[in-house]
Every structure is written in structure tokens, then in C-alpha cells.
Amino acid sequence: MRVLLVEDEPTLRAQLRLSLQGAGYAVDEADNGRDAQHLGQTEPFDAVVLDLGLPQLDGLSVLQRWRAAGLAMPVLILTARDSWTDKVAGIDAGADDYLAKPFHVEELLARLRALIRRAQGIASPLLRCGGIALDTRSGRVSADGQAVALTAHEYRLLAYLMHRPGRVVSRTELTEHLYAQDFDRDSNTIEVFIGRLRRKLPAASIETVRGLGYRLDCPA
């Protein structure tokens, strides 16, 4: 999963970036509204954390432009404390959720998880596919009841697929959603990580769909 973090305050941005990365997300950052708008319109994100008070272009305008352009990614806005008018304006502009500063990062992470799964029509934070279980809260994965140890990249890849059970996902889509912009992307690495996941998961969990991509096969 790939998240865009838009926050102009350097210390808070650095803290949030580390927390998001620690939770398994690939993170792109913007410290002003213009860069944020551009990134959001040119790169695919699974969710956006958007501060409203930003230089160059305020967060509300960024959000309105994204929605006017038809972009539907989940957006969580950060508002000033006690500013109920910001919350109302943000939600009316197309925000999916909000947090008032200051907040606990655990709450931000929980809200993001909820936004990301709801965007895929999933209600529970515990994802299941056949014998595979992935707990988005703890980052723990098990197969047929046995704990499976995954690297950060393997987890990110599996989490993306587990949010889209039975759907064919192309290598390009995976590359775009698993790495931040500044990461040295090589679509061959996806194949390598798929191979590693296959060795750790029950046989035939990840199917190759020739010429199209991969599909997580979830027997009922």
C-alpha cells in the first residue's frame, strides 16, 4: 500500500513518515499544496493524509481539485484543534475522515487502515483468504494456523493482494502501489517477491495469470 503524506511542518512530517513506514506503507511526501496536488494527480495512492493548512495552495483546495478531476482515493484530513468549520468544509470537499491536531499516531494508523479496507469493500481488519490470515492491525500473517514471518516488502505485497482477493493485479499496478516515487523500481523485483511469498504460503495461493498479472486464489 502506498500513502501520500502532505504536511508542511517538518518534525511532524518526519514522525508520521516513520510511523507510516513502520506500519508497512510505502510513503511519498509533499510539504506544500502544489506538489501535493501534482503528486495526487500523477501517482496512484491507496490513501492520502492531508494537512489543511499548507503553503502555496491550501489543503481544502487541493482536495477539491482532486475530486473535481475524478480522483476517488481515500483522504484523511488533519485539521486544527477545535476547528469544527474545517471538519465540515473538509468533509464537504470530499474528505473521507478527519483527525484534529494534536492526535495519537495510533489513531491515525487505525483510521487509515479502515479507509483503505473500506475502499475495497472490506469491513473486517482481519483479512482471510483460504488458509491465509493477515491481521492489518498487528501486521501478523498466518497460514493454516502457523505464523508466517515476512519481510516488509513481502508483507506489503501480500497485504495489497489480500485487499483484492480473486482479482487479477498487474505487475505494473503492484510496482506503482508498493514503492514510493524515489524508490528504484524494477518490475522484475515483483516477480522475485512473488516467488518468495509462494514459498512461504500454502501452494497455489498466488496464481500467475499469463500476460495479465497475479491473482490471489481464495477457495471458499
Contact positions vs Ca ion (CB under 5 A): 8, 51, 53
CB of 79 to Ca ion, least distance (A): 10
CB of 80 to Ca ion, least distance (A): 8
Peptide linkage before 102 cis (omega within 30 of 0): yes
Q: 29 vs 51, which CB is nearer to Ca ion?
A: 51
Q: 8 vs 207, which CB is nearer to Ca ion?
A: 8
- Residues 100 and 53 sit within 8 Å (Cβ to Cβ): no
Phi, psi (degrees; rounded to nearest 5) at 204: 70, 15
Q: 65 vs 101, which CB is nearer to Ca ion?
A: 101
Q: 53 vs 94, which CB is nearer to Ca ion?
A: 53
Q: 28 vs 51, which CB is nearer to Ca ion?
A: 51
Q: Which residue is nearest to Ca ion (CB)?
A: 53
Query: HSE-up of 99 (CA within 13 Å, CB side)?
Result: 20
Q: What distances in angstroms separate CA 176 from CA 44, 197, 201, one per listed residue?
A: 7, 19, 23
CB of 12 to Ca ion, least distance (A): 8
Helix, strand or coil, per DSSP, at residue 17: helix
Cell of 179: 514503492
Please classify residue 107 by burial: count the beta carbons closer than 10 Å to its beta carbon, then call 0-12 exposed, 13-18 middle and 19+ buried: exposed
Q: 51 vs 96, which CB is nearer to Ca ion?
A: 51
CB of 53 to Ca ion, least distance (A): 4
CB of 67 to Ca ion, least distance (A): 20
DSSP 8-state code for residue 142 = E
- Residues 28 and 70 sit within 8 Å (Cβ to Cβ): no
Phi, psi (degrees; rounded to nearest 5) at 42: -115, -15
CB of 101 to Ca ion, least distance (A): 9
